[in-house]
Structure 1
């Protein structure tokens, strides 16, 4: 049996059994390494070497968590909540809550979509903006699994469909790797080819909003994270907004979340919005809030490094080709499932495309798929698993924001809901795209 398949299954089963995902990744790495022909010492060494690749990512999220927590103490979140509530009529309380709930969902969706293309900061906005809104979510009794699905849709659909920001990078990877494998395509064809798969993502979002999680769900207000300031200081609000803008500008200019967060924190210290020992305590609590995502990202890089070292990722793709024969419908389905499995383990659609394109392109040509259908298969196979993977930042980001008060489980409240609502429709609509394009 293929080592990658076994290790991913072990990791997923342990995660579903509520074994901590970091432990699940470490155990899955050991199993995969040993089955893939590595010795115990080699497996440990390769896993350890992989940890260093994500050190900057872990530090980035830790500092963003600290910055977000301090922003939450300035009174800016309370002002934001009050402003949103005022946008809703108070004459009919029930109707008012419905309007406000709809408005909140739309605003979260817009923020998530903009983070991929308009202001390409990816998940960096989540720890800053989502934890302060938890009190409003609680008041409206919004099921946080719904918000997790809304965030994940906004983190994936824009880069899959639109050739701007992260979309330009992802679609560029598809075009480049298809060319390296012998099939040259026009970059402008990628958005057209990915339109049908994105319809699948949209269908999953609609089902999530109007069917799966439309019922109210009650959460407790946890004072450590959600207590409102007795008084809103206008000067603190001004410097809080300024710090966010400075953090964003530095992040975009230097392409560094680390120095963006540091710039925001420095602004709050220099303006005396944050003072001495109190500020130190707040920063520490904020770092604790994001420690989970940092450790998971570290472990995920080690896991992916072991999977690559076994050589069984390429073997998995080769074996899939043997079973397909000349059947287009079966070939499309198997290629999508291989993409799902690889991305679930690696946690990155961007890293999956170069791995699968080498085999998928000649296989698609042999089976008679058009260039557009080939784009759809590779693009969809790469995106599959980004939603629903325990180690993807598209699931870790939403969890980091929604679990700030400890009431949102990563596996059962983010991973499973996003897997069901996005990966399953992506398989169906990706297969349809391959058959009709």
Structure 2
């Protein structure tokens, strides 16, 4: 029976534990063990597969750690205080404009300046005091960040969007359905429109009221200008050589990342420049490491364990079984096919946490079904792309939620599950699901 599928059981366990405020690391570990045992792998074998698969995100995890250190160093330079002062003047009384500006900056990080989540630990922590001063609901900011991390790669064939849409095209062709990249782009415009609706609902309706995040008990706040009052932040801070060298370090980190296509090398270059130019003294190295790991170390470990969890799900063979059993129930109805495909995509992506990683799995199993029921290549591309993107927002293991939390929780006052995952799941997966079905019916 479908209800006994190992992937389905595992994802349900992860979601339930996360909603019960069990730490996301424990939730993923227990979900992985549950999935392995449910598939008959055995406890020891499941752990071995989990550990062996953790290396799949080693590069990403190291990138996050180095980015955390780089963000701490930027904070120590004092340039963040200047940023906060400017933002105070520019956005005072303009909460919605600030949220949409953040969404715009996040969008640029996917194509124009493809740094993905690298900008979040640098931009967001210094603004937390501003959010509290404006009584801006951080859940609206989380929604804006996730919007910017997802929508561009879905709709725009540049940067990460070119990679995402290119995978859809290549996998569809590999499975016997010809389609041009331009058609993939056009097919994703309608599902992408659902993302805009989700953002507008979050900003103008759900999170429009005043809200200040509660302080965590016995919290050690990172010294990144976050804990300072706005009165202190409003002090006149003059531009100096340290600030200039900080800007050079940031631009160098960005340039090297784009040149080498390595976030690790980019972040490391920025750190070295900050040390060599004495913006941050060498004797502050221990502080930089400790606070950098404190900021993004948790996210790095989650990514490692999530990679192992994805490996467990794939090794069980239960993903193929889940798709086969559900698609056997669809018949020839385009509507039912669309609903089932998107539902399965949601479950798989919630577990694996990567929209890019689920496309090859979905395409191999869905293209034959779409051919059999007579769905057009563009309708098929819309379903595969939407099914892959579903769950990326809302998954506890996705960088589209981990990234925003890393910035918004820098002062320990933002909950990953209830204030990032749940809001983004509701505001984006629901409209994505609806618009994905519409795309399948009209394209």
Which range, TM-score by smaller chain?
over 0.9
Residues 76, 280 of structure 2: 8 Å contact kept: no
Matches within 5 A, 1:195-214: 195-214=189-208
Matches within 5 A, 1:162-177: 162-177=156-171
2:22 corresponds to = 19
Match of 2:137 among 143, 162, 185: 143
* SS at 1:364 equivalent: helix
- C-alpha distance in 2 between matches for 1:103 and 1:204: 16
Residue 84 (str. 1) matches residue 78 (str. 2): no
Match of 1:156 among 150, 156, 168: 150
Residue 317 (str. 1) matches residue 323 (str. 2): yes
Residue 241 (str. 1) matches residue 220 (str. 2): no
Match of 1:274 among 270, 280, 290: 280
Residue 301 (str. 1) matches residue 307 (str. 2): yes
- C-alpha distance in 1 between matches for 2:296 and 2:222: 18
Matches within 5 A, 1:100-115: 101-115=95-109
* SS at 1:188 equivalent: helix
* SS at 1:421 equivalent: helix
Residue 406 (str. 1) matches residue 409 (str. 2): no
Which digits, 9 at most, give the CA deviation of each residue in 1:1-48, with x for residues without a partner? 110000011111111111111111111111111111212221111001
2:59 corresponds to = 56
Residues 138, 220 of structure 1: 8 Å contact kept: no
- C-alpha distance in 2 between matches for 1:346 and 1:292: 18
1:5 corresponds to = 8
2:93 corresponds to = 98
- C-alpha distance in 1 between matches for 2:429 and 2:96: 25
1:32 corresponds to = 35
Match of 2:437 among 416, 422, 431: 431
2:292 corresponds to = 286
1:91 corresponds to = none
TM-score by length of 2: 0.94
* SS at 1:163 equivalent: coil
- C-alpha distance in 2 between matches for 1:119 and 1:233: 26
Match of 1:389 among 392, 395, 406: 395
Match of 2:383 among 373, 377, 384: 377
- C-alpha distance in 1 between matches for 2:410 and 2:359: 33
* SS at 2:120 equivalent: helix
How many equivalent pairs are there? 428
Which digits, 9 at most, give the CA deviation of each residue in 1:244-293, with x for residues without a partner? 10111111111111121111111111111111323431332122111110
Give the CA deviation at 1:67: 0.6
Residues 178, 357 of structure 1: 8 Å contact kept: yes
Residues 366, 384 of structure 2: 8 Å contact kept: yes
Give the CA deviation at 1:72: 1.0
Residues 145, 414 of structure 1: 8 Å contact kept: yes
Which digits, 9 at most, give the CA deviation of each residue in 1:334-383, with x for residues without a partner? 00000000000000000111001111111111112111111111110011
Residue 71 (str. 1) matches residue 77 (str. 2): no
**Runs (5+) with no aligned partner, structure 2:** 216-220
Which digits, 9 at most, give the CA deviation of each residue in 1:82-133, with x for residues without a partner? 2233335xxxxxxxx333x234223211210001110111111111111111
* SS at 1:224 equivalent: coil
